Amino acid sequence: MSWWFHPDRRGDFQDRMGLTKITGLEVTQSTDEGGVQVRLARWRDQRGWSHQHRTERQLGPDHHGQPSDGVFIVPSLEEVFCEHPTGQRMVLQCSGRIVFIPKSDGSTEVIVEHNHNLTGGRWLWRRGLRRSDQRDQSALLQKQIGLCEAALRAPK
């Protein structure tokens, strides 16, 4: 779990975003004493849309999630504000949690649960947002698998 939320992984988000042909990416991330991790990102996509993405994760004081019956749970909230060049906006809100389940062989099962709500904009824009996300998911998943495998091979 410490690897999942480590500050050194801030670049992973930037790498994922780099696959989607964006410009002007700015990312800030901080974690307060109570273990609330906040990441703010801003960028412009190839269609001229401006995006602002805010992620908040409740890591807890030990930065490993909230223990519950042998598992660790990290609640999260995300908001993505997308602004069309004409000024019209869409908002994607995501509430969810990441559940870490330690296994007897030393591995950890990770379950990510999300609930999305997309409002504003025109229906064609919302459809295009979902299609571009689907197109990029395969490449992003392969990259994430590679990062996980590299972390497992790294000397401890």
Domain ranges for the chain, please list them: 2-64+74-95+112-153
Q: Is 74 exposed, middle or buried (0-12, 13-18, 19+ CB in 10 A)?
A: buried
pLDDT tens track of the chain, all 156 residues?
556 666 666 666 666 666 567 788 888 888 888 888 898 989 898 888 899 999 998 888 777 788 888 888 999 999 989 999 999 999 989 999 989 898 999 888 888 888 888 888 776 766 666 555 555 556 666 676 777 777 778 776
What pairs with residue 44 in β-bridges?
23, 50
Q: Is 98 exposed, middle or buried (0-12, 13-18, 19+ CB in 10 A)?
A: buried
Among candidate residues 23, 16, 3, the one with its CA nearest the CA of residue 138 = 16
pTM exceeding the 0.75 threshold for the entire prediction: no
